[in-house]
Structure 1
Amino acid sequence: MGVLGHAGGLHAAPAAAKPNVLLMMSDDLAATLGCYGHPVAKTPNLDALAKRGVQFDQAYCQFPHCNPSRASMMSGLRPNTTRVTDNGDNLYKNIPGVLTLPHHFRQQGYATARYGKIFHLGVPTGEESMDDPQAWDFGLPFRDERPYPPTRVSDVKVKAGKKQGLPWQETTGPDSNMVDGEFAEKAVGWLEKRDSTKPFFLAVGFHRPHLPLVAPAKYFDLYPFDSITLPESPADDEADIPEPARNGAVPGYTLTSTPEQRRAAIRAYLACVSYMDAQAGVVLEALKRLGLEENTIVVFSGDHGWHLGEHGLWHKRSLFEESARVPFIIAAPGTKGVGKRSTSLVELLDVYPTLCDLAGLPAPDVLQGKSLRSVLEDPGVSIHDAAFTQARRGKNAEYWGRTVRTKRWRCTEWDEGRNGIELYDHDADPHEYKNLAEDPQHAAVLKELRGLLAEKLPPIEVAKK
């Protein structure tokens, strides 16, 4: 069947017995949630979701860049298979007839709707759409989210701008004046008016905290400037980091701002996270109000992580923990792991087979992830020995990186090791400050992990555009 797959011969459960699905995603979100232990983040709605679901503490994207990550997650296929490695690659041209997650649910009789960014979309322009036209009964049309509402004069007197720091803006007016508030409001409207004879698959993709860091002023007020600190790191942190992984390797992401500008941008990032959390809360509250909570599987995830100065980095597209790891929560009614945290290694590839399993739908036979049902029943269970992530860096994305994360280790290669190798021991070094790749004491571990990378992630054949 190639990579198209089929759901061969299995019979789905009767419509009345099928659970609903609510998939919520946040763009460029690191593990900066209260439930993930961030010291100042205020995210009460997602924290509450974690308490009625399972919070996965070691979940990883397959490619920390918007289009590659989302194409992989929504197709259930690794980037080696999708050949989507930048925002211009087209999943549907690379794999004609690919059956994406929402399209599959639609074929199985679900009412499907999309509000916001689920597949790739340029933010804030509303262009570059890689949406699956066959996935949705209804998809809210994309648009440029600008102009933003009027600005409130900030108490933080730090000049912001692309050259000086990351741009941020405190806006006036209600939450619905910005697109994430609009997505939440209209998604609730769809829930209220949907065809109640069908189970639903509702996907809500929030833009924030993707740049620009713009949110209503009240969310900035949650974060006094003096509460914002910069990540601490050794003075020589960069010394053992290979060139492709360093600050400056991706020119557009080069961090040159002052410490005060970085603190102001971190404050703005957290304000955007709190704004996004509030909009997630609007949708979750509607589920409860409409009596849908007890029969709706809720999945919340970032598409990849984000750097806020760790290792001197800002933005995404790195293979350090902060970029590869994602916040990931599943609340599945009737499962036994409610309110617990799991340290099981998870890949975003697992979303597709998990939802098929929980909904009683046949899973396409080409999916490359695993169902997390057993972990939802017992969060102490582990289903993966390793999680894999790939990235491209460099002025022209010429450096190809691949990394494997096990419970203890992270091993990263750049161009199969020709442009650098990294090895980090998370038991002793959870922030990945000490590269052990040249330490003979760990030669056996390094050899084993590099062999695993070569086996699992061969070089990607770039699709012709």
Structure 2
Amino acid sequence: MKSTPLKYLFGTFLIVAMTLPLMAAAAPAKPNILLIIADDLNNWIGPNKGNPQVKTPNLDKLAARGVTFQNAQASAPLCNPSRASFMSGQRPSTTGIYDNQQPAMPHLPRGVCLNDYVRKFGYTSLGAGKIYHYHQYREEDWDKVVFYADDTLPNHPAKRRPGPFGYRMFTEDKPDAEFNEQRAESELVDARSVSWCIDQLGQQQGAFFMACGVHRPHVPWDVPKKYFDMYPLESVKLPPILTNDLADVPPAGIAFAKPNGVHQAILKAGVWQDRVRAYLAAISFADAQIGRLLDALDKSKYRDNTIIIFVGDNGWHLGEKEHWAKSALWRRATNVPLIWVAPGVAKPGTECDRAVDLTSIFPTVCELAGIPTPKHAEGISIKPLLKNPSAKWKQPAVTTFLQNNHAICTDEWRYIRYADGSEELYDQKADPNEWTNQAAKPELAKIKMELAKSLPSVNAQPVPENPDPGPKGKKARKANRVAAADPEKE
């Protein structure tokens, strides 16, 4: 065999040496990740068609760029367990974090939560606003994080309209009504959080993970008057209601609904229409703040290389099933907005009707970012649905409220089983308002049995609540529990 001349070997080496840097330069950069979280937002946004009255132009534009999930379900219908779940990728039934009084961070080790995990792979982690439950976050899990105090919270001494979920309107100039208060929109907590995120966009050099928590439409619905003006009171329509809707609901479900509590107080005060208007106004305010952030991203150099995820942490009832707020396993409390924009992957302007839950966020981010999905993440990546929203999907969505109460949701059915074994079953296509509980029908026993296979096999014991906050002891802890039961005091 003839030997290869040295000059040819040298020439080959030179070509390879010159090509490698070019190959490295051509390698695609890691995508940036922008996670926007709205608080207590049900499916009353334009892309989800939950309420035809709502005005959300910025979310409408976002949906035109990606995939809108019409059947996305929260892992828990309550702020703290929901956020702990989708940020850690673990179900409440695994962590034992079921309620708002249970501090999450002591039970979610370093490196487990998404914002900390991605840092192992070169991401700068940034956060502003309510990402975990209020101040429940570890500063060391972030490169930069801010949390602005919200002085519109219910414990802030101020005049509000009477009745449950009273609110104030803010005006830019001199107040023109008894309950109005002069305050610039830019001073409100959501505007401040968004402004911080916009500022950070101009400072980044490498790949970043940015989470922006928008507090509205969480109560109190204290937003500028111009957003109320978008919804003249006389034109506001109530959600579809069935008289005696709770007649076929088991006692466990009625206990969650509390029909003789807030709902009766709303009726007595005659403010149902007014409170629907206030919720709509708060949604439009949130939409405006989100629009500011999206506009800034579009004007930046990151527009074409940023994955955008918009999500709500849980839904919200406004009188459906004689219930207000969250803390229930029906669709209005669990169905949340979920919009994905993933350049080169997500099909723009499309909708997906497949049932997914929010544990899917963690593994999907990992797959799109090209980083390994950790073993602790329990959800399934929805990348196939981003590419083809009509793709086959067999995994049901699972929602848990408190220990051993679960809802299993598919494209066709919602199956609820409470801790005492009682059940509800709704046909999601024929009965989207969930007015007829079919759990007692013998001919549907096989369907219930099949859905029950997706019930969590582990129902962890609840982690400890916050310790007694000082000398008041039990009395103070009871007050905390009451505050969680009434979202107006959350």
The TM tier, using the shorter chain, reads 0.7 to 0.9
Give the aligned partner of residue 11 of structure 2.
Answer: none
Distance 1:298 1:252, change over 3 A: farther
Q: Is contact 2:311–2:338 with CA below 8 Å preserved after alignment?
A: yes
Q: Is contact 2:317–2:326 with CA below 8 Å preserved after alignment?
A: yes
Give the aligned partner of residue 166 of structure 2.
Answer: 167
- Aligned mate of 1:28, from 28, 40, 45: 40
- Aligned mate of 1:341, from 336, 345, 351: 351
Query: Equivalents in 1 of 2:394, 2:314: separation in Å?
Result: 19
Q: Residue deviations 1:3-32, cap 9 Å, x none? A: xxxxxxxxxx99971111111000000001
Deviation at residue 94 of structure 1 after TM alignment? 2.5
- Aligned mate of 2:416, from 412, 416, 432: 412
Distance 1:382 1:102, change over 3 A: farther
Give the aligned partner of residue 374 of structure 2.
Answer: 364
C-alpha root-mean-square deviation of aligned residues, in Å?
2.5
Deviation at residue 451 of structure 1 after TM alignment? 4.2
Q: Residue deviations 1:158-184, cap 9 Å, x none? A: x933xx232122111232121111111
Q: Is contact 1:385–1:407 with CA below 8 Å preserved after alignment?
A: no
Deviation at residue 421 of structure 1 after TM alignment? 1.1
Q: Is contact 1:247–1:312 with CA below 8 Å preserved after alignment?
A: no
SS of aligned partner of 2:118 = helix
- Aligned mate of 2:438, from 436, 439, 443: 436
Is 1:258 equivalent to 2:267 in the alignment?
Answer: yes
Is 1:145 equivalent to 2:151 in the alignment?
Answer: yes
**What letter corresponds to residue 258 of structure 1 in structure 2?**
L
Distance 1:251 1:459, change over 3 A: farther
Query: Equivalents in 2 of 1:424, 1:329: separation in Å?
Result: 25
Query: Equivalents in 1 of 2:441, 2:346: separation in Å?
Result: 43
**Mean alpha-carbon deviation: is it higher for 139-148 or for 364-373?**
139-148
Distance 1:289 1:72, change over 3 A: same
Q: Is contact 1:20–1:297 with CA below 8 Å preserved after alignment?
A: yes
- The structure having more radius of gyration, on CA atoms, is 2
Distance 1:336 1:354, change over 3 A: closer
Query: Equivalents in 1 of 2:326, 2:451: separation in Å?
Result: 24
Deviation at residue 346 of structure 1 after TM alignment? 1.2
Q: Is contact 2:125–2:144 with CA below 8 Å preserved after alignment?
A: yes
Q: Is contact 1:165–1:262 with CA below 8 Å preserved after alignment?
A: no
Distance 1:234 1:328, change over 3 A: same
Give the aligned partner of residue 403 of structure 1.
Answer: 407
- Aligned mate of 2:365, from 348, 355, 379: 355
SS of aligned partner of 1:269 = helix
TM-score (norm 1): 0.86
Q: Residue deviations 1:333-392, cap 9 Å, x none? A: 112511100112211101111111111112212211111211111111143431111113
Give the aligned partner of residue 227 of structure 1.
Answer: 235
Q: Residue deviations 1:225-256, cap 9 Å, x none? A: 12212223222211111223227755996322
Alignment of 1:77-116 (within 5 A): 77-97=90-110, 99-116=112-129
- Aligned mate of 1:272, from 272, 276, 282: 282
Query: Equivalents in 1 of 2:221, 2:27: separation in Å?
Result: 42
Give the aligned partner of residue 212 of structure 2.
Answer: 204
Query: Equivalents in 2 of 1:457, 1:264: separation in Å?
Result: 43
Query: Equivalents in 2 of 1:109, 1:248: separation in Å?
Result: 44
**What letter corresponds to residue 431 of structure 1 in structure 2?**
N
**What letter corresponds to residue 414 of structure 1 in structure 2?**
Y
Q: Residue deviations 1:70-90, cap 9 Å, x none? A: 000000011122110111223
Q: Residue deviations 1:318-337, cap 9 Å, x none? A: 10001111100000111251
**What letter corresponds to residue 171 of structure 2 in structure 1?**
T
Query: Equivalents in 2 of 1:366, 1:255: separation in Å?
Result: 40
Deviation at residue 424 of structure 1 after TM alignment? 0.9
**What letter corresponds to residue 359 of structure 2 in structure 1?**
L
Q: Is contact 1:253–1:315 with CA below 8 Å preserved after alignment?
A: no
Query: Equivalents in 1 of 2:443, 2:413: separation in Å?
Result: 14
Compare the two structures and name the one with the higher helix fraction: 2
Distance 1:362 1:48, change over 3 A: same
Q: Is contact 2:98–2:401 with CA below 8 Å preserved after alignment?
A: yes
Deviation at residue 92 of structure 1 after TM alignment? 3.2
**Mean alpha-carbon deviation: is it higher for 434-443 or for 279-288?**
434-443
Give the aligned partner of residue 425 of structure 1.
Answer: 427
Unaligned 5+ segments in structure 1 are: 1-12, 122-128, 154-158, 393-398
Unaligned 5+ segments in structure 2 are: 1-24, 173-183, 466-490
Q: Is contact 2:110–2:116 with CA below 8 Å preserved after alignment?
A: no
Q: Is contact 2:126–2:145 with CA below 8 Å preserved after alignment?
A: yes
Percent identity of paired positions between Structure 1 and Structure 2: 37
Q: Is contact 1:115–1:186 with CA below 8 Å preserved after alignment?
A: yes
**Mean alpha-carbon deviation: is it higher for 257-266 or for 89-98?**
89-98
Query: Equivalents in 1 of 2:409, 2:273: separation in Å?
Result: 30
**What letter corresponds to residue 100 of structure 1 in structure 2?**
C
Query: Equivalents in 2 of 1:85, 1:116: separation in Å?
Result: 22
Q: Residue deviations 1:243-282, cap 9 Å, x none? A: 2322775599632212840111110111010000000000
Q: Residue deviations 1:186-227, cap 9 Å, x none? A: 2111111x232x111111100000010111111111001122
Distance 1:350 1:96, change over 3 A: same
Q: Is contact 1:301–1:326 with CA below 8 Å preserved after alignment?
A: yes
Query: Equivalents in 2 of 1:15, 1:136: separation in Å?
Result: 27
Alignment of 1:366-405 (within 5 A): 366-392=376-402, 400-405=404-409
Query: Equivalents in 1 of 2:300, 2:325: separation in Å?
Result: 38
TM-score (norm 2): 0.82
Aligned length: 426
Query: Equivalents in 1 of 2:78, 2:457: separation in Å?
Result: 17
Q: Residue deviations 1:63-115, cap 9 Å, x none? A: 11111000000000111221101112233322434511010112221122111
- Aligned mate of 1:301, from 302, 311, 316: 311
SS of aligned partner of 2:434 = coil
Distance 1:24 1:252, change over 3 A: farther
Alignment of 1:281-300 (within 5 A): 281-300=291-310
Q: Is contact 2:42–2:337 with CA below 8 Å preserved after alignment?
A: yes
Q: Is contact 1:76–1:350 with CA below 8 Å preserved after alignment?
A: yes
Q: Residue deviations 1:116-167, cap 9 Å, x none? A: 011111xxxxxxx21132321111144242489xxxx9xxxxx933xx2321
